[in-house]
Amino acid sequence: MRKISYREALREALREEMRRDPTVFLLGEDVGRYWGGAFKVTEGLAEEFGDERVRDTPISESAIIGAAVGAAITGMRPVAEIMFGDLTALAMDQIANQAAKIHYMFGGQVKVPLVIRTPFGAGVNIAAHHSQSLEAWFMHVPGLYVAVPSTPYDAKGLLKTAIRGSNPVFFCEHKLLYPIEGEVPEEEYMVPFGIADIKREGADVTVVATLYMVHKALNAAEELEGEGISVEVVDPRTLAPLDKQAIIKSVKKTGRIIIVNEDCKTAGVSAEIAAVVAEEAIDYLDAPIKRVAEPDTPIPFSPPLEQYVIPDEKAIINAVKEVV
Amino acid sequence: MTLTLTKEKLVEIYMKMLEIRFFEEKVFELYAQNLVPGTIHLYAGEEAVAVGVCGNLRKDDYITSTHRGHGHCIAKGAELKRVMAEILGKKTGYCKGKGGSMHIADFSIGMLGATAVVGAGIPIAVGAGLSIKLRDTDQVAACFFGEGASNQGTFHESINMAAIWKLPVIFVCENNLYAMGTRQSRVMAIKNVADRATAYGIPGEVVDGNDVLAVYEAAQKAVETARKGEGPTLIECKTYRHKGHSRIDLAKYRPKEEVEEWLAKDPIKRFKEKLLQTNTLVEAEIQQIEKEVSAEIEEAVKFAMESPYPAPEEASEDVYA
């Protein structure tokens, strides 16, 4: 099968959906022909679809999402890009109070088919305002779906599902994933929400990971295999809806679970998944639940400081060894 | 205040204003009887704004509204009984009891909903304007908000965005002088919100918001401009709320003389006098209209009171589409 990058996979999803449906359009800061998106995901799309449908905006995050909401409830399918995940804080009212609640608050009268794409993640030395992983914020808001693709295949399939859906989708990407290549079929496919993917089968320990951490978990699993420890890597692919059954099923098999996420540990994604396992599968556990996450600090700038806070393979391996 | 409209249109305008006034008086009465859950923000006193603007809109045009939104709904053509049922938390309300007084919407008439976050509806109206442009129709979107909201970032971001893209949006500021208890002069260094239009390169106009025909005329011009694809307008309507900010507020921060002065400028009273003076309507016709509107309100209350509450488990429905 052909291999393409995560960035190209996202672009293909956008291109295919824009060709298929004239109501799909993109808006965001520098998504158009002059820049093609800060991470080049939308490069070339303005040339094909024009400046009206690949729309550069002022630096106005709140109005970007607000305008996307207004367009979504009047017949369009906007895909808004927020240049860095950290900047979603500027648009939080429109995301959490408007987009997420309009369908419910107005008694189901209208749908909000809106996708908000944004990159999270540390590792490129751009410090506290451009490096966070804030998925948990959005997971906490009923009415939003949260996608967290880790591979080009998942990125393309999930984005197409997001664009065709009837709900607001907070679509998390990761800066370090954009250049990563993976197999993506030529023919059309979709990846459904709420269905986890077993990225590696194993028998001794379940490792649940998302986004870039899936790759670190797979590296750790490879290394542990050499030491005779068989690790199963479960990638939820969407945090809302969360495929609890896939996680529980894996725990029933292995009896041990490590949850790896790049966000801060307190009240983070791993806390929610740990709670699900504690509530619904504690009888199958042979060891305490372990979490590998960032310490509760802002992301620091200097390379040694930054590397210190980002969970790595070593931390995953250590956590696994603590429970086997 | 000039009277160039047909008698039919003038009567329609008068009736709508009266519907809002009587409706709000009824809501206040029901509240006093403890029949309205939560809070209420009454539109009484500001009727000329919603009616003057919406009188220029088609059914397929859009509006966005605020926590003080009953008047906008009624002016756009919402059914009184379903608005009242929503305010009482009933299943037959516009939002099946999920929204309440601060969150009424009727998408069948382009009423895109009231948001209770101050200033949050402004970018949504811009999005509706963007959608109109992308779909290439001749609809327009009108956006109501208070002078308090004009201090929110969303106001500035939104007007700028609508201006650069020449979107068919009419920004309608209902300047009732107070953001809750905060007088405008304490939080703004300028007198007219409309002056802010200059900063974004769009027309801004101050109108007497208690003169329904003045509002109508200003909105007519703005709607025509928007429909022709010539971009947005900011209209500032100087008005006053008759009651306090919300149900518990007695508005003691407003000087007595000021309140009296504004009550004397009651938009309905003024319009009625005008209609009588110009012999557009005679007293008997006015009384007939009042009777009709009262009956409508009574019917709405009856409907709302007799409607069932939603089943508790409906709380879990409509989280996702």
Distance from CA of A318 to the nearest CA of B (A): 40
> Are A60 and B320 within 8 A, CB to CB?
no
Whole-angstrom Cα distance, residue B10 to residue A106? Answer: 32
- Which neighbouring-strand residues pair with A197? A235
Whether residue A103 lies in the annotated active site:
no
pLDDT tens digits, A196-216: 999 999 999 999 999 999 999
Q: Which of A103, A130, A174, A215 is catalytic?
A: A130
Domain boundaries, chain A: 3-183, 197-323
User: What does the pLDDT read at residue B3?
Assistant: 66
| A54, closest residue in chain B (CA to CA) | B134
User: What does the pLDDT read at residue B250?
Assistant: 87
DSSP state of A36: S
The predicted complex's ipTM stands at 0.97
Give me the average pLDDT of each 10-residue run along chain A (324 residues).
97 98 98 98 98 98 98 98 98 98 98 98 97 98 98 98 98 98 98 98 98 98 98 98 98 98 97 98 98 98 98 98 96
Domains A3-183 and A197-323 fall in the same CATH topology: yes
User: What does the pLDDT read at residue A52?
Assistant: 98
B114's tokens: 């009231």
Q: Under CATH, to which class is A197-323 assigned?
A: alpha beta
pLDDT tens digits, A33-86: 999 999 999 999 999 999 999 999 999 999 999 999 999 999 999 999 999 999
The type of residue at B265 is K
Query: CATH for A3-183?
Result: 3.40.50.970
Give chain B's domains with CATH numbers.
Answer: 7-307 (3.40.50.970)
Whole-angstrom Cα distance, residue A116 to residue A68? Answer: 9
Cα distance from N-terminal residue to C-terminal residue, chain A: 37
User: What does the pLDDT read at residue B248?
Assistant: 79
| A144, closest residue in chain B (CA to CA) | B320
B154 chain-A contacts, CB cut-off 8 A: 62-63, 66, 93
Give me the average pLDDT of each 10-residue run along chain B (321 residues).
84 98 97 94 97 98 98 98 98 98 98 97 98 98 98 98 98 97 96 98 98 98 98 98 88 94 97 96 96 98 98 98 97
Whole-angstrom Cα distance, residue B199 to residue B195? Answer: 8
B62 chain-A contacts, CB cut-off 8 A: 74
> Are B98 and A106 within 8 A, CB to CB?
yes
Number of A/B CB contacts below 8 angstroms equals 149
DSSP A202-256: -SSEEEEE-THHHHHHHHHHHHHHHTT--EEEEE-SEEETT-HHHHHHHHHHHS-
User: What does the pLDDT read at residue B2?
Assistant: 62
User: What does the pLDDT read at residue B246?
Assistant: 87
Instruction: Suggest the residue from B73, B134, B136, B151 to mutate for an interface test with chain A (most A CBs closer than 10 A).
Output: B134
Three-state SS for B103? coil
Instruction: Suggest the residue from B157, B158, B166 to mutate for an interface test with chain A (most A CBs closer than 10 A).
Output: B157
Distance from CA of B147 to the nearest CA of A (A): 18
